[in-house]
Amino acid sequence: MRMAALIFILTLAFLTAVISGSSPATLTLERAFPSNHIIELNQLRARDTHRRILKSSSNSSVAFDVDGTNFYNPLGLYYTTVMLGTPPVEFHLQIDTGSDVLWVSCSSCKDCPQTSGLEIELHFFDPMNSSTSSLIPCSDQRCNSIIQSSDATCSSKNNRCSYSIHYGNLSGTSGYYVSDQIHFVSISKGFLTTNSSAPILFGCSNKRSGGFAKSDRAVDGVFGLGRQKMSVISQFSSQGIAPRVFSHCLRGDSIGGGILVLGEIVEPSIVYTPLVPSQPDYNLNLQSISVKGQPLNIEASVFATSKDRGTIVDSGTALAYLAEEAYDPFVDAITTAIPQSVHTVSIKGNQCFLTAAIVTDIFPQVSLNFAGGASLDLRPLDYLIQQNSIGGKAVWCIGFQKIEGQGKTILGDLVLKDKIVVYDLAGQRIGWADYDCKMPVNISEATGTDRGEHKNAGTSLHDGLKLSKTGCLAIFVTFICYFVFFIYAA
């Protein structure tokens, strides 16, 4: 029996679902903020310098925290509206593809923000007010399983299965695990109902610190989509609700937006490369980098996965980062490939270029070459970021950054935008294809372990999504993405 695909539909601003008889949902896409925000490239880099770059010696599996996003320095914040408990209570949770725990602020939380600069109402979960809530005691088999795969502990003092997560940017959360109902919208052959729910294990935070304790960019918690047992996708797939695969397609234009699907987006041109096994993050085997078709002189060992090295795909990261040994050859190759008439300039440590020409005409294509023969081909707009102008010429800077003293290569939204990206946990692979993300996408009828023939969807739900004929489950998500327009303040 095929599992239904769990589909997360991410839209800009507030999602509106109109349900009327046999009518499909009507989803309104809006831009959360105007495109004239001023922010320098080095400010964005500073905001990106968190968990994976500054990862502690803890065995915890954590990812980039997109904290830095607020009305004043919008750097990209993705959050979903989730209903938990009975009666359901609404929570705004930051989507995180690198960490595993879904956690929300508890009614007993210390140092938790009471208001948010994102103009959302914050809520606190009270287990006593939910008729379906239950605490996870130390004796619970699920607690033992959690302890083996995450930052969980068991306190004999209160017999609670507890957790403590510390992030590299000095943010953190601690609390205890709760089991309760998560509510979502079901879809079948294009029709919507609103009475679906399933049990889920999540963290009830009674302490937040660092960036999580600040009000300017506060949300209610985190929605973990990592590779481990505690992630949302793992819990749903273990119950037969969703397959162990999810996909996204993020628009790279000024409007922004996109779709995140717990299910498989299918496209004939998708190429796949294997995930590196036994890793907590989405690690890939990057073998080489080519500029204008010529491989760079970089030892393959620079990209090999080890304790302090490896290549990670992370949609929660705004920029992209190269291992220190690869950065200078990469920048030099791009600089050498462009016409000498293009003036180069260093702006706060970033390699930038002054030109009045169209960048796609003068800058080379870059290819990231992975195991299995898959290449991630980057157009100039996939590695350059436009800043302000100087003397009537546009300033373009290389968006790839160097991680000083680190061997990590991190592929963020800079290179993932305008592409379908499929995280196939069941098949242990990641795939991608260039795509116009404002166009409809097709969802596979074959899900989970049923890897049969892919068929295009037969029902159009809205402009950006087509459903499979088999039906699926969906959580409709409020997705705020504060896209960044990088303007150099001279």
Whole-angstrom distance, CA of residue 245 vs CA of residue 443: 11
* Catalytic, out of 48, 65, 67, 314: 314
Whole-angstrom distance, CA of residue 429 vs CA of residue 102: 24
β pairing state of 465-467 and 459-462: antiparallel
Is 96 in the active site? yes
**Contact of 27 with 11, CB cutoff 8 Å:** yes
Is 450 in the active site? no
What letter represents residue 17's amino acid? A
Can you tell me whether residue 324 is helix, strand or coil?
A: helix
DSSP-based helix, strand, coil % in the chain, nearest 5: 15, 40, 50
Of 382, 490, 361, 369, the closest CA to residue 434 belongs to 382
Whole-angstrom distance, CA of residue 143 vs CA of residue 137: 7
Whole-angstrom distance, CA of residue 205 vs CA of residue 175: 4
- The dihedral formed by the CA atoms of 16, 20, 25 and 26, expressed in degrees to the nearest 10: -60
Residue ranges in 150-290 assigned as alpha helix (H): 232-238
* Catalytic, out of 48, 65, 96, 180: 96
**Contact of 161 with 146, CB cutoff 8 Å:** yes
C-alpha separations of 150 from 59, 78, 193, 275, 284 in Å: 8, 23, 35, 20, 22
Residues paired with residue 9 on neighbouring β-strands, in sequence order: 476
Of 490, 487, 482, 320, the closest CA to residue 398 belongs to 320
Q: Report, as residue numbers or ranges, the catalytic residues.
A: 96, 314
